[in-house]
Chain A
Amino acid sequence: MTEQPDLARKGWMSLLAKAPAARLAELFPNLPPHDVLRAPECGAVMVQGRIGGTGAPFNLGEMTVTRCSVVLADGQVGHAWVQGRDKSHAQRAAVLDALLQSGAADAQLQVLDVLAAEAGLAKTARATKAAATKVDFFTMVRGED
């Protein structure tokens, strides 16, 4: 592997993959001209777990995944692997991946920042409900003779 893992790119690819497809389409409805290098394709990824949470890997079960690769008019290539079977989600994410690599500031503002904020809110909303079900133990006072 010659390519250096690009932390920012990892981050946006993940954000785009995990975004609700309908929300992504709302935030970025019009795709710029591009060619499809690999048409959106549905398949599966085998999810692995570890025995005991930390031990040897085992096959837990598959999940549906859609992948797509595109090239923009300027030659910039973008890839996407997204959970689920929504082909337009994968294609939109691949186009955005290409745009973001060219440093498209508007895509950053218009899409990524919004998605990140909304994902954070959704996560916090669940965490606060979980926190409300945390048990506070109290010790009963024992009668002393």
Chain B
Amino acid sequence: MYVAVKGGEKAIDNAHAWLAEERRGDPSVAELSVPQIREQLKLSVNRVMAEGSLYDPDLAALAIKQSRGDLIEAVFLIRAYRTTLPRFAASNPVETAKMAVDRRISATFKDLPGGQILGPTFDYTHRLLDFKLMAEGELPTAPTAPASGEAVPHVTGLLAQGGLIQPEPQTDEMPPDLTREPLELPANRALRQQALTRGDEGFVLSLAYSTQRGYGRTHAFVGELRIGRVGVSVNIPELGFAVEIGEIELTECETVNQFTGSKTEPPQFTRGYGLVLGQSERKAISVSLVDRALRWAELGEDFIGAPAQDQEFVLSHCDNVQATGFLEHIKLPHYVDFQAELELIRRLRSEAIAEAAE
């Protein structure tokens, strides 16, 4: 039980003033600006946007500055801000096939239309600390090559042509929205996608890893991973037509997984899918693996009791704002609760001691 308490206002004010001073750090070191965070800590900004579920790099950078780099605290700030915004509309579904790709790789086909484009990746770096970054260096420049402008079709589309992979039937039903209605189980795949894409990266990563280690194994190949910008088109009510009002960066992962088949259907590969705001490939791959593991019932697979197969477990625990809120509330005053426990344990002890003495 939580009982309201008063007092400590002065202590709280002073604690917040000290927090502000600590946030600033050593005043002889230049203050970090929000644009610096936005431009140079971009992957942190992306994570805060994805888990905060709001695409706005400036706000995410501000949240990171305010939270002193505590990304879950920053996500919390963004979620709180998000609730103050009126919802104007839902966009038309983004067309990831038309993405202007910075990166596009496939682990299933070496040669494919559009090619393997590495983009600005950490892959193939040696993970050795680069001490040159401690000094102010020259402005780095990326080499260029003529862009072919050729289409970069989805790899799963190539497999679908031969009927080798399950089709993903296109519908236009309004998806359920976690931010409007509380989570109800069982959740359909659209709702699970929303929950996973805003879920905690570490939690979703660990669940995905658990499937690779045998807890709900689905034999995933990364059919394709792409990162780039897509236009966001919205039907403007006052105009009666759609306008592309902005562009966002997304990471999309499609996995090609173990097949299913039946007496009537020949075997086919199955799919896992992950789409995440910003450049966040670890998260997108993780979402795809967990998405696929959660589809066991629909695909006629066995429930082996693996955590990643249990949608109640996954969806109830993947949100780090909910998790941290409940976890951290136990540090708030529980004086009355604890007094009751103290009285109980004193009584039990005195009874036990009295019994032993008899």
A1-25: contact bitstring with B at CB < 8 Å (1 yes, 0 no)?
Answer: 1110110001001100110000000
- A130 touching B101, Cβ below 8 Å: yes
Highest count of chain B CB atoms <10 Å: which of A1, A47, A81: A47
- A5 touching B168, Cβ below 8 Å: no
- A58 touching B245, Cβ below 8 Å: no
Q: How far is the CA of A130 from the CA of B150 in the complex (A)?
A: 13
- A46 touching B247, Cβ below 8 Å: no
* Known contacts A47-B94, A69-B238, A127-B100; A14/B243 CB under 8 A: yes
B131-163: contact bitstring with A at CB < 8 Å (1 yes, 0 no)?
Answer: 000000000001111111100001011000000
- A81 touching B50, Cβ below 8 Å: no
- A58 touching B117, Cβ below 8 Å: no
A112-126: contact bitstring with B at CB < 8 Å (1 yes, 0 no)?
Answer: 000000000001111
Q: How far is the CA of A110 from the CA of B245 in the complex (A)?
A: 21
Q: Which of B76-98 contact A (CB under 8 A)?
A: 82, 85-94, 96-97
Q: Which residues of B contact A5 (CB under 8 A)?
A: 240-242
- B118 touching A54, Cβ below 8 Å: no
Q: Which residues of B contact A49 (CB under 8 A)?
A: 93-94, 96, 193, 250, 275
The size of the chain B interface, using a CB distance under 8 A, is 85
Highest count of chain A CB atoms <10 Å: which of B119, B120, B144, B248: B144
In the complex, A45 has a CB within 8 A of chain B: yes
CB distance from A36 to the nearest CB of B (A): 14
CB distance from B200 to the nearest CB of A (A): 15
Contact for B116 among A17, A82, A134, CB less than 8 A: A134
Contact for A2 among B173, B240, B247, CB less than 8 A: B240
Contact for B168 among A46, A54, A61, A132, CB less than 8 A: A54
B150-188: contact bitstring with A at CB < 8 Å (1 yes, 0 no)?
Answer: 000010110000000000111111111111000000000
| Total residue contacts A-B, CB cutoff 8 A | 241
* Known contacts A57-B93, A84-B56, A128-B146; A45/B154 CB under 8 A: no
* Known contacts A44-B82, A57-B172, A79-B239; A14/B92 CB under 8 A: no
In the complex, B344 has a CB within 8 A of chain A: no
Q: Which residues of A contact B34 (CB under 8 A)?
A: none
Q: Which residues of A contact B248 (CB under 8 A)?
A: 47, 63
Contact for A53 among B53, B88, B96, B119, CB less than 8 A: B96
B229-268: contact bitstring with A at CB < 8 Å (1 yes, 0 no)?
Answer: 0011010101111111111101010100000000000000
Contact for A60 among B86, B243, B247, B277, CB less than 8 A: B277
Q: Which residues of B contact A135 (CB under 8 A)?
A: 115-118
Q: How far is the CA of A130 from the CA of B145 in the complex (A)?
A: 8
- B91 touching A46, Cβ below 8 Å: yes
Q: Which residues of A contact B85 (CB under 8 A)?
A: 42-44, 62, 64
In the complex, A85 has a CB within 8 A of chain B: yes
In the complex, B110 has a CB within 8 A of chain A: yes
In the complex, B59 has a CB within 8 A of chain A: yes
- A17 touching B86, Cβ below 8 Å: no
Q: Which of B40-95 contact A (CB under 8 A)?
A: 49-50, 53-56, 58-59, 82, 85-94
Q: How far is the CA of A93 from the CA of B145 in the complex (A)?
A: 35
Lowest 4 CB-CB distances: which A-B pairs, in order?
A83-B246, A52-B168, A55-B168, A127-B147
Residues of B at under 8 Å CB distance from A?
A: 49-50, 53-56, 58-59, 82, 85-94, 96-97, 100-103, 110-111, 115-120, 142-149, 154, 156-157, 168-179, 189-191, 193-194, 197-198, 231-232, 234, 236, 238-248, 250, 252, 254, 271, 273, 275, 277
Residues of A at under 8 Å CB distance from B?
A: 1-3, 5-6, 10, 13-14, 17-18, 41-65, 67, 69, 79, 81-85, 123-135, 137
A-B contacts besides A44-B86, A59-B177, A61-B53, 11 pairs, CB < 8 Å: A49-B275, A51-B189, A53-B275, A54-B170, A58-B191, A127-B100, A128-B147, A129-B102, A132-B142, A134-B118, A135-B115
6 contacts between A and B (CB under 8 A): A43-B88, A54-B168, A57-B171, A61-B277, A63-B232, A129-B143
